[in-house]
Structure 1
Amino acid sequence: MSNQSIDKVKRRIRQKVKGTAEKPRLSVFRSNNHIYAQLIDDVLETILSSSTLEVSVSSKLESTSTCEASTLVGQYIAKRSLEANITNVVFDRGGRIYHGRIKALADAAREEGLKF
């Protein structure tokens, strides 16, 4: 997909998916080398985040652009959100299709206890 078509899908998703303090938005951004996840309250700010740029994540990996890396980021974001007493979120795939690294992150977050 081109960046223009991803942006078009992203805008369409953001019209429907809104994060609140009770149910924040789990936003996922994937680049060629890294993956980023954020819990966002659209009214105020970013609540917490995790990515493959963190030393605690990247030190356990050979490559940061794999499904294994996405799974690890999903586990970290879920653990941090449960520590902050956040159990329900709205998933925002960032205009990408729900497949591969995006799906691996979402599945790992669900296994750790997040509900979406």
Structure 2
Amino acid sequence: MKKVDIDTKVKFLHGFSNKTRIQILESIKEEEKTVSQIVDDLNGNQSNISQHLACLKGCGLIVGRQDGKYVYYRVRNQLVRDLLTMFDVVLEDVENNIACCENHID
């Protein structure tokens, strides 16, 4: 396996480092959706959601498909879906540690 540059890895992980971006990824994990559908799912505002979609797209985690006046967003591929599922599996294992962590830095 090719060694990944640490700065690139940090930029990649940045895509997962925000509550709204995680909510978006979960919203489109199984099916593609428009911005309006995502805004409805998250009870957010379109401007904020659009900024996070741009970040996720820039990080390569999602793709968009133009259909008429709508853009449909979806998770890039099965590897990203698997990674989101793996986060849940690992989180289940370490959840108590995270809840008790006093060293978490925002």
Establish whether TM, by shorter chain, passes 0.5: no
Return the TM-score normalized by structure 1: 0.26
Higher helix share: 2
Higher strand share: 1
Bigger Rg over Cα: 2
Return the TM-score normalized by structure 2: 0.27
